[in-house]
């Protein structure tokens, strides 16, 4: 409940302009009760990012095992991935905006893990679909900001 409320408020107002009190109010709890679950707004953000991306990648892996050709499986995975982007576009825009998220080691490490998992997903699927012929082009997936 707190995660979903935080996600909603961060998406609509932005991380920096959302207060812990607003999150607590959205959850019909006291600010003190919020701190029983999360030590800070930043800790909530980390939990939200884990929750969201775990949910997306779990669904992507589920459709991978539904059968069909590798090409069909990859198409289904891309559909899940982009449907989630469309459903959570405000939350994702908030993540991408300049200075929207705290740039501490934990958020940077999590962002790196998510980026690497996404790249690996594409590499694995492209290799399954196109075989060794695609290997020379794999480096194109590995780009940096």
Domain boundaries, the chain: 42-141
Confidence of residue 142 (pLDDT cuts 50, 70, 90): low
Q: pTM to 2 decimals?
A: 0.79
Q: Rg for the chain (alpha carbons), in Å?
A: 18
Q: Which two tokens stand for residue 145?
A: 């900001």
| Burial (0-12, 13-18, 19+ Cβ within 10 Å), 48 | buried
Higher per-residue confidence, 12 vs 34: 34
Average pLDDT over residues 82-99: 81
Question: For the segment 121-139, what is each residue's pLDDT rounded down to a tens digit?
Answer: 988 999 999 998 888 888 7
Question: For the segment 23-58, what is each residue's pLDDT rounded down to a tens digit?
Answer: 999 999 999 999 999 999 999 999 999 999 999 999
């Amino acid at each position: 409940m707190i995660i979903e409320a935080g996600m909603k408020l961060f998406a609509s107002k932005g991380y920096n302009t959302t207060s812990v009190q607003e999150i607590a109010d959205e959850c019909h709890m006291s600010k003190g009760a919020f701190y029983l679950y999360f030590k800070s707004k930043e800790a909530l953000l980390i939990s939200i990012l884990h929750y969201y991306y775990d949910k997306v990648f779990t669904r992507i892996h589920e459709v991978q095992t539904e059968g069909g050709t590798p090409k069909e499986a990859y198409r289904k995975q891309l559909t899940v991935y982009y449907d989630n982007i469309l459903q959570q576009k405000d939350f994702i825009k908030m993540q991408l905006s300049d200075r929207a998220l705290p740039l501490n080691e934990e958020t940077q490490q999590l962002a790196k893990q998510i980026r690497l998992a996404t790249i690996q997903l594409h590499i694995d699927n492209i290799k399954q679909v196109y075989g060794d012929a695609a290997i020379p082009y794999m480096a194109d997936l590995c780009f940096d900001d």
